[in-house]
Amino acid sequence: MLGLQGPCWVGPGPDGGLVVSEEFGDVRLFGSACQPLGSLGRLTGHAFGNPAGVCTDVEGSVIVADEQGRCVTLFPRARAPVCLVSEGLGRPLGVACAPQGQLVVADAGDSYIKVYQYHPEPA
């Protein structure tokens, strides 16, 4: 995948593709054949500080941990981004959706793994 600016984190994306965060940049989306589909910042107008961990929920929405922005943001399909967590985060780096309906965040600011109840938004 050419053209990436400091790729940091990669995760499964919607519809069998990939999601890649770029250090101090944007979050790029790739299709199942690794073709570029665009970036979340450009597609939604969202400004990232330092996007880190990325994942996709069961609805195909992308979730991004923003280390510098100290938040975790949900990017639903065809809707505006939604801040899921901002309070109590120092340096959110990793993020994952657990099968029990939980959002798991690795916070390097205080060296904790934080677990939040999470319910995906219907498409």
Q: Which residues pair with 18 in a beta bridge?
A: 12, 30
* Closest CA relative to residue 38, chosen from 52, 53, 17: 17
Q: Is residue 46, in this structure, part of any structural domain at all?
A: yes
Model confidence band, residue 78 (pLDDT cutoffs 50, 70, 90): confident
Q: Is residue 122, in this structure, part of any structural domain at all?
A: no
End-to-end CA distance of the chain: 29
Q: Is residue 83, in this structure, part of any structural domain at all?
A: yes
Q: Are 65 and 85 in contact (CB under 8 A)?
A: no
Tell me the pLDDT tens digit for each residue of 1-14: 567 888 999 999 99
Q: Is residue 123, in this structure, part of any structural domain at all?
A: no
Residues of the domain holding 49: 7-117
Please state, in angstroms and rounded to a whole number, the distance separating the CA atoms of residues 110 and 61.
27
Q: Is residue 73, in this structure, part of any structural domain at all?
A: yes
Q: Averaged over 51-70, what is the pLDDT?
A: 95
User: Which residue's entry shows tokens 């991004």?
Assistant: 64
Q: Is residue 66, in this structure, part of any structural domain at all?
A: yes
Please report the pLDDT score of residue 75 as a whole number.
96
Q: Is residue 37, in this structure, part of any structural domain at all?
A: yes
Tally of domains in the chain: 1
Q: How large a percentage of the chain has pLDDT more than 90?
A: 77
Please state, in angstroms and rounded to a whole number, the distance separating the CA atoms of residues 5 and 69.
19
Per 3-state DSSP, the chain is made up of helix, strand and coil in percentages (nearest 5) of 5, 45, 45
Q: Averaged over 38-66, what is the pLDDT?
A: 94
Which CATH number fits the domain that encloses residue 77?
2.120.10.30
Judge residue 21's burial from the number of C-beta atoms within 10 Å of its C-beta, 0-12 exposed, 13-18 middle, 19 or more buried: buried
Tell me the pLDDT tens digit for each residue of 80-123: 999 999 999 999 999 999 888 899 999 999 999 999 998 766 55
Q: Is residue 107, in this structure, part of any structural domain at all?
A: yes
DSSP, res 42: H
Please report the pLDDT score of residue 66 as a whole number.
96
Q: Are 43 and 26 in contact (CB under 8 A)?
A: no
